[in-house]
Structures are given as structure tokens and as C-alpha cells.
Amino acid sequence: MNTVLFDLDGTLLPMDQDHYIAAYLKMLGERFAADYDPVALREAILRGTGAMIQNDGGRTNETCFWQVFSAALGEGVLGRKADFDDFYRERYNDLRSEAGFTPLAAETVRALKEKGYTLILASNPLYPEIATRARMRWAGLREEDFLLVTAYEKFSYCKPNVSYYREILAMCGLKPQDCLMVGNDAEEDLCAAEIGLDVWLLTDCLINRQNRDISSHRHSTLAEFRAEVNSWRKVTDM
């Protein structure tokens, strides 16, 4: 194993996902309240998100979202994309208070980097890259530590579709048996095992809506995972 894929939300960035999403949608509604009914905007965003989750690879998630989003709100919203980008630049960082923080995130990434592991930030590509990189900063992470950061502009699948992981492997020239996926969702992250990736679930913010048995997969807190990393050999020693 020479490559580690990390989920972001709930894995390296502690958060209550439902609480964060509610705050995110509320903030978007307030920002565009003069132009769109907040309830209609919320429903359009959720429809667009649902379409991305169902995306079959025929278009990027970005294209998929905006097609469904504009169908719900009207074609005129396509001319407002720059305003939505400005929201992520100017207002989105106010949501930082809705997420937690642990120095263990950057410490773990740094320790793996020093041992020569290739690192990928495998955050579900439902957001523009500007938003995902903002949440990286909230977690204290450096962009240069990652070979790839997954975002909706680049990807045509989402978790829990295993083709999302195939897309990463193909893009980076990786073999599944050389990769470890570290995440906190028993559906979205654990499905990587279906195509041969090893999986390690972090339990600090574990999401297991279907009460799956995770006992056959490695799982621990982030602190315990960080301690395990200390015992790993350098990639050059393998």
C-alpha cells in the first residue's frame, strides 16, 4: 500500500453533517433571498445534489447540477453562476463555525507525507472546488500535500457509486490494491472495498444510517489511526 485516500467532512474535518448542511442551505437562502424564494432555492439545490449522486458518468457533476438546478429555478439562474462563486469566496467561510477542528488531521497527513505516501482528498464531489478547498483550510490542510482533490468540476460520479473510486484510480494511474480509503461513512466510504481498496473507518463522526456491520473492516478514532501511522514503514522501504 502506497496511497491513502481521505474523505474530508467528518473524517479530517469533524462535523455533524446534517447540522452543517442545514446551516449551509440557510446561508444560501439568505444570500439570494432578494432573487429567489428560499424554499424554492433549497429544493432546487437538493434536486441538483440528488442528480449528481445519480450521475452515470455521461457529464460532469457540475454540468449535471446546473442542468437540474436551472430546470427548477429557470434558465436565468445560469447567468448567476458568478454570483454563486462569489458566495463561496465571500460568505462560505462564515460556515467554519459549524465545523469542528482537530490538529490530528494535519498531523496525520504530514506524517504520511513524510513517509512517502501519495495522498488524495476523496471528498464527495458535490461541491465546487473553491468550496472544497475552503473546507480543507478549515481542517488545517495544505493543498500541496494532495495529488488530487476531488470536486464537481472534474468528476462524473459521486459516492456511493464505486465508479467514483474507479475515476480516481484511472485519473491518477493507481491500482486498487495499493490504496487505502479512510473515511467515516459506512456506505459512501466502505463501498470502495467492492473494487479492491482497503478501507479504514474513523468513528469520531461515524455515519452508519443502515447499521451495517463494520467489524470486518478496520475502524478506530482518528487519534488511534494517527498512532498506527507512526508504525508504518516508509514507502521506499516496502
Containing H/E element for 21? helix 17-31
| Domain shared by 151 and 39, yes or no | no
DSSP string for residues in 36-82: S-HHHHHHHHHHHHHHHHT--SSS-HHHHHHHHHHHHH-GGGGGGHH
Whether residue 202 contacts residue 213, with contact meaning beta carbons closer than 8 Å, is answered with no
| Domain shared by 164 and 139, yes or no | yes
Q: How many domains does the chain have?
A: 2
pLDDT at 15: 97
Residue 153's domain spans which residues? Answer: 3-15+100-237
Containing H/E element for 83? helix 81-90
**What are 163's three cell numbers?**
465508479
209-226: per-residue pLDDT in tens? Answer: 999 999 999 999 999 999
Boundary of a domain, candidates 64, 96, 128: 96
| Domain shared by 108 and 217, yes or no | yes
CA–CA gap between residue 45 and residue 83 (Å, rounded) = 15
| Domain shared by 199 and 110, yes or no | yes
| Domain shared by 84 and 120, yes or no | no
pLDDT at 238: 63
161-180: per-residue pLDDT in tens? Answer: 999 999 999 999 999 999 99
| Three-state DSSP state, 188 | coil
Q: What are the contacts of 206-212 at 24+ separation with CB within 8 A?
A: 206/10, 207/10, 207/17, 210/186, 212/186, 212/187
The CA-atom distances, in angstroms, between 147 and each of 103, 120, 187, 194, 237 are: 21, 6, 24, 23, 21
| Domain shared by 51 and 151, yes or no | no
65-99: per-residue pLDDT in tens? Answer: 999 999 999 999 999 999 999 999 999 999 999 99
The sign of the dihedral angle between the CA atoms of 81, 73, 96, 110 is negative
For residue 117, pLDDT beyond 80 = yes
| Domain shared by 106 and 202, yes or no | yes
pLDDT at 178: 97
3-state helix, strand, coil in the chain (%, to 5): 50, 10, 35
| Bridge-based pairing state of the strands 179-183 and 3-6 | parallel
10-56: per-residue pLDDT in tens? Answer: 999 999 999 999 999 999 999 999 999 999 999 999 999 999 999 99
126-163: per-residue pLDDT in tens? Answer: 999 999 999 999 999 999 999 999 999 999 999 999 99
